[in-house]
């Protein structure tokens, strides 16, 4: 059967040729060179190399009448000459069509245990899904694997796996498959305890001698126990009288979350736009925007008069509703549909933003946020978010090496 005359029915005869053994250069070329002598057409190919062992599968059309036995003998002889194993299975047609409702399920473990992998796979099956393919995205600093799943809709699958993930202690993200996953996106993240490991207002408070008092109010606000705007005014009032030079000191004290630079650098290389929204202060976020090459940044502004903090903020308050509003504004300015946005945050005042985004990621978040977000990342590496977008650690490192 020639390439110009493809099979007209789904039940055309095919051979599945499977090769196993120690990997080395030339195996794939050698197999198809061997098959070429029988004028077969390639229907499908899958190849995986794990710890130096290759599994190569080739689905090909049936050879010319009367030559199948010779093909089998030749392939086995070729495989034996390379100390490989070969298996050839007769059948009909191609792979069965994938079911409707397709999703990518990304699982992060630190470590990823066999027990947790079994639980995730069983829950996918129990939801009516079929696992079509699995591949590893990263082996460090976390293990990340991606399941291609078909046969069930994304939302019920996400709900089922979120419950399972919480019980077994792994992070699971479920996103619908399709071209949109490769489209240009906007990523917007919170700053305090997300992009950076600090709470900026507590850094200011340390210079004012009221760190403990401010930290207590901050924690209550992030748990959703206090109105954010009221708590903001109460905390900022404690900073009244600080010399404005404290701003430069705080900027030097800010610590980026591990993986933050890698996340932003990689997203920018891919053409993504990246922004931050913060219940903190422009005196810090403007500096971060410049240092990290961010596209957008918005936060509250500390009022400074005659070289001192007044204990007040100016302008529009960036609170829970404000963050969602800014996400929409940034998306409109970036020309990115809201469904193509990713929001990352940890506190209760991030909830509206996480819910408004196409994908909301709770990063080392409070319990109320983890329960409400599309997915949660509970490892201390911000660049783990890249795996949720289908980006592998190898791709990140290759891009870094090329730039270096």
pLDDT in tens, 202-240: 999 999 999 898 988 878 877 778 788 888 998 999 999
pLDDT band at 247 (very low <50, low <70, confident <90, very high): very high
pLDDT at residue 404 in the model: 64
Looking up tokens 């990823």 gives 112
Backbone angles phi, psi at 55, to 5 degrees: -125, 115
Distance, CA of 266 to CA of 259 (rounded, Å): 11
Of 326, 350, 352, 353, the closest CA to residue 342 belongs to 353
Query: pLDDT for 128-140, tens place per residue?
Result: 999 999 999 999 8
Write down the pTM of the prediction.
0.84
Query: pLDDT for 60-110, tens place per residue?
Result: 999 988 899 999 999 999 999 999 999 999 999 887 777 778 999 999 998
Q: Does residue 6 have a pLDDT over 80?
A: no
DSSP 3-state assignment of 85?
strand
pLDDT at residue 95 in the model: 79
| pLDDT (mean) for 2-17 | 68
Q: Does residue 22 have a pLDDT over 80?
A: yes
Query: pLDDT for 110-121, tens place per residue?
Result: 899 999 999 999
Long-range interactions of 282-285: CB distance < 8 A, separation 24+: 283/247, 283/250, 283/251, 284/191, 284/200, 284/247, 284/250, 284/251, 284/254, 285/191
Whether the ω angle into residue 311 lies within 30 degrees of 0, i.e. cis, is: no
More confident residue, 37 or 176: 37
Residues labelled as active-site residues: 190, 192
pLDDT band at 184 (very low <50, low <70, confident <90, very high): low
pLDDT at residue 140 in the model: 87
């Amino acid at each position: 059967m020639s390439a110009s005359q493809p099979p007209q029915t789904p039940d055309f005869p095919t051979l599945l040729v499977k090769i196993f053994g120690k990997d080395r250069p030339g195996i794939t070329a050698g197999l198809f060179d061997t098959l070429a002598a029988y004028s077969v057409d390639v229907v499908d190919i899958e190849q995986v190399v794990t710890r130096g062992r290759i599994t190569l599968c080739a689905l090909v059309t049936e050879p010319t009448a009367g030559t199948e036995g010779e093909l089998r003998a030749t392939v086995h002889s070729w495989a034996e000459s390379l100390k490989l194993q070969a298996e050839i299975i007769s059948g009909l047609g191609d792979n069965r069509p994938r079911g409707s409702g397709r999703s990518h399920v990304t699982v992060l473990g630190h470590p990823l245990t066999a027990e947790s992998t079994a639980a995730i796979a069983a829950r996918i099956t129990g939801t009516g899904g079929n696992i079509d393919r699995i591949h590893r995205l990263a082996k460090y600093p976390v293990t990340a694997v991606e399941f291609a799943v078909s046969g069930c809709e994304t939302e019920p699958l996400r709900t089922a796996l979120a419950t399972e993930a919480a019980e077994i202690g792994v992070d699971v993200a479920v996103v619908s498959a399709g071209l949109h996953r490769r489209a240009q996106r906007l990523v917007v993240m919170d700053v305090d305890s997300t992009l950076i490991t600090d709470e900026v207002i507590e850094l200011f408070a340390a210079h004012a001698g009221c760190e403990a008092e401010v930290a207590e109010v901050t924690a209550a606000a992030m748990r959703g126990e206090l109105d954010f705007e009221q708590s903001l005014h109460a905390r900022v009032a404690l900073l009244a009288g600080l010399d404005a030079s404290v701003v430069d000191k705080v900027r030097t004290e800010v610590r980026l979350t591990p993986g933050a630079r890698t996340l932003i650098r990689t997203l920018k290389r891919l053409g993504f736009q990246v922004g931050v929204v913060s219940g903190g202060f422009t005196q810090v976020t403007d500096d971060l925007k410049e240092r990290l090459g961010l596209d957008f940044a918005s936060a509250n502004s500390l009022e400074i008069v005659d070289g001192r903090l007044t204990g007040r903020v100016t302008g529009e308050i960036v609170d829970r509703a404000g963050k969602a509003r800014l996400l929409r504004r940034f998306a409109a300015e970036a020309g990115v549909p809201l469904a193509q946005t990713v929001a990352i945050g940890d506190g209760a005042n991030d909830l509206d933003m996480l819910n408004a985004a196409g994908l909301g990621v709770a990063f080392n978040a409070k319990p109320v946020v983890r329960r409400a977000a599309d997915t949660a990342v509970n490892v201390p590496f911000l660049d783990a978010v890249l795996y949720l977008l289908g980006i592998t650690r190898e791709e990140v490192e290759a891009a870094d090496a090329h730039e270096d």
